[in-house]
Amino acid sequence: MPSAPRYAESTATPPTPELIGASPAMREVYRLTRQVAASNASVLLLGETGTGKELIANALHRLSPRGSGPFVRVNCGALAENLLESELFGHVRGAFTGAIDNRIGRFEAAHTGTIFLDEVNSTTAKLQVKLLRVLQEHEFERVGDTQTIRVDTRVIAASNRDLHEEVEAGRFREDLYYRLNVVLIVVPPLRERREDVPALVSHFMRLYNDANDRHVPHIAPDAMKALQDYDWPGNVRELQNYIERAIVLAPGDELSRDLLPETVLGRRRQRIGRAVDMDTLTAALVEQGIAAAGPEPDNLHARIVNRVERELIAQVMAQCSAVQVKAAARLGINRNTLHKKLDQYELPDAEKGDKSNY
């Protein structure tokens, strides 16, 4: 009788407790994670926002020989180019305005461990050159310095965009792409692993019952069905936020269907399904005070879209008590994209942090 495959027993079991689900798509992720963890190979994680890429990166680190070393996360989409360069590689005193002391960068901090470059697709061409060098040569210079520093750091990168398409569009270096993409792990969106929803719901119910000192141990069957039928544009992070909301609002010991947001229940259309007549739209926006009346400028369409987007973001932020991670999930966009749009539209930005790594 032939022996079982090496990973047959463990593929259904998550490599770390934080990972939830036993669907076929996640079993393949678990298999690759275990198989690749022991190596020093660079890993590229591809997946939509909120799918749990950081949890996979953390599992790769913890299961590796570097597990006792540092795990350093950098969100490449959250900082401007000059700040990100200093964050990654450090700087010396006087390198730029405000550099009053020498500072080590994240690559140095991750020496003998792992550095996780989240949203690596957000990096500029100049920074991609420096990343390529540190991947190839394991060396770099701090900003404003000439002394070369060598590091022993494993690189795990993540992107919510297809980097091959970014290469073809000229927005990402092909040589850097191949250096990062030694092993590719695709993290599936929640809509492609709906069978994992009950396990995730149970996990988050326990988590937020404990966090909020509540006792809501049950969920109504029609509520669970609604959660499994929803498409989850914000993925696991969106599910987490809705479960937390329901636990906090539940009047009894059951999470009922009426505690779920209207979007989950299908009461609100999320996309415009037909072309909109610009005259009709403009008149409606003028009536609501969103767009100004008068002669139509050349960029009328862009101006109206911006005004509508600004109004929508302001309303969602108010509904979510200015918690960006919740607002981003409800809007179906990346949290860093939301942060940039808050700056663009000069809206209040009161970041309150995120309880999740998803």
Q: How confident is the model at residue 4 (pLDDT cuts 50, 70, 90)?
A: very low
326 neighbors 241 (Cβ within 8 angstroms): yes
Q: In the chain, what percentage of residues exceed pLDDT 70?
A: 81
**Span 33-47, average pLDDT:** 96
C-alpha span between 204 and 237 (Å, rounded)? 10
Judge contact between 59 and 17, C-beta under 8 A: no
Of 197, 236, 178, the residue nearest 53 (C-alpha): 236
Instruction: Give the β-pairing of 148-150 and 139-141.
Output: antiparallel
Give CA–CA dist 55/93, Å, rounded: 35
Q: Which amino acid is at 103?
A: R
pLDDT mean across residues, the chain: 84
Residues of the chain with pLDDT > 90, as a percent, come to 58
For each of the domains in the chain, give its residue range(s) and CATH number, in order of start: 24-188 (3.40.50.300), 193-265 (1.10.8.60), 278-344 (1.10.10.60)
Confidence category of residue 300, pLDDT binned at 50, 70, 90: low
pLDDT tens string 58-114: 999 999 999 999 999 999 988 887 789 888 998 777 656 666 677 888 999 999 999
CA dist 88 and 303 (Å) reads 37
Identity of residue 43: V
Alpha helices by DSSP H, the chain: 24-37, 53-62, 81-89, 106-109, 125-137, 163-168, 174-180, 197-211, 221-229, 235-249, 262-265, 278-287, 300-319, 324-331, 335-344
> Which residues have a Cβ under 8 Å from the Cβ of 164 and sit 6 or more positions away?
177
| Number of residues written out for the chain | 358
pLDDT of residue 5: 38
Cβ atoms of 18 and 205 closer than 8 Å = no
Closest CA to 133 of 83, 89, 166: 89
Q: Is the pTM of this model over 0.85?
A: no
Identify the pLDDT of residue 317: 83
